[in-house]
Amino acid sequence: MTPAIDVRHLTYSYPDGTAALRDISFAVAPGECLGLIGPNGSGKSTLLLHLNGILPERLGAHPAVTVSGIELAPDTLFEIRRRVGMVFQDPDDQLFCPTVYEDVAFGPQQFGNPGTDVRPLVEATLDMVGLHGFGERSPQHLSGGEKQRVCLAGILACRPDVLALDEPTNNLDPRGRRELKSLLRTIPATKIVASHDLELIVELCPRTVILDAGVLIADGATIDLLADEPLMLAHGLEKPHSLQHRHPHA
Ligand code: ADP
């Protein structure tokens, strides 16, 4: 089966010379939910930014990223951005319209057929994320959890094949976190979740990739990797509480 995401030998340095990713390769099957963990500065955000071509600054002759069989190149960038939706860490980076409705409508207006009435889609998506009736509210005056759901609605309204989420629970209280988790479970898209919230990763992602200093350290079953205390400690991570009594490969 063609992978939803295929990353081959991805190496990247920022313009200031910081080496952020070193020869990263992995594939994600359609419908899979992959966890991406690692200490601060390990390259998680940089990797996500490569999945829809926000990075590198200039696409090279040898694409390292393929989305559903389409190589990431200048002439496929628009199509790949339609297919891969990115939910950033800070909702304030993503919300820029005066109303929730306009924010959620922005993507479908950009990617859909010109002239199509996007209102039914926007309203159905707001219902789906639990924001029925929020259309005329100002995104700036919502709670962290509500803002996060507006961002998600804006991405979901574009019907992406792949959802890349960077620290989705960062600004959420326990209820917001629980609601986001349930919502993500209902979304059939392929998902890649970068997070320090290892309990979220255990609950949501059957498989996980560990990055450290831009290197892919491990790729395997979440419960096996995260229950491996020496592995976790060696890479600035901690065995999650829910796996305390579990031994690797048990
Ligand atoms: P993570 O998401 O795992 O915290 P990042 O992808 O943000 O890691 O960072 C990976 C490395 O790239 C770090 O060394 C970080 O300091 C560096 N980095 C991130 N953004 C930039 C940037 N815009 N310019 C230069 N270096 C950067």
Per-residue pLDDT tens over the stretch 223-240: 999 999 999 999 999 999
Rounded to the nearest whole angstrom, what is the distance from the C-alpha of residue 69 to the centroid of ligand 1?
A: 28
- What pLDDT sits at residue 116? 86
- What pLDDT sits at residue 249? 64
**Sheet order of strands, 207-212 included:** 84-87, 162-166, 190-194, 33-37, 207-212, 215-221
Q: Is the dihedral of CA 228, 218, 180, 196 positive or negative?
A: positive
Burial of 225 per CB tally in 10 Å (0-12, 13-18, 19+): buried
Q: pTM of the prediction?
A: 0.95
Q: Which amino acid is at 19?
A: A
| CB of 169 sitting under 6 A from ligand 1 | no
- What pLDDT sits at residue 250? 62
The 3-state secondary structure of 84-152 reads: EEEECCCHHHCCCCCCHHHHHHHHHHHHCCCCCCCHHHHHHHHHHCCCCCCCCCCHHHCCHHHHHHHHH
Mean pLDDT (whole number) for 149-178: 92
Which pLDDT band, with edges at 50, 70 and 90, does 244 fall under? confident
Mean pLDDT (whole number) for 186-204: 96
- What pLDDT sits at residue 92? 87
Task: Domains for the chain: give ranges and CATH numbers.
Answer: 5-89+161-243 (3.40.50.300)
| CB of 46 sitting under 6 A from ligand 1 | yes
Which pLDDT band, with edges at 50, 70 and 90, does 138 fall under? very high
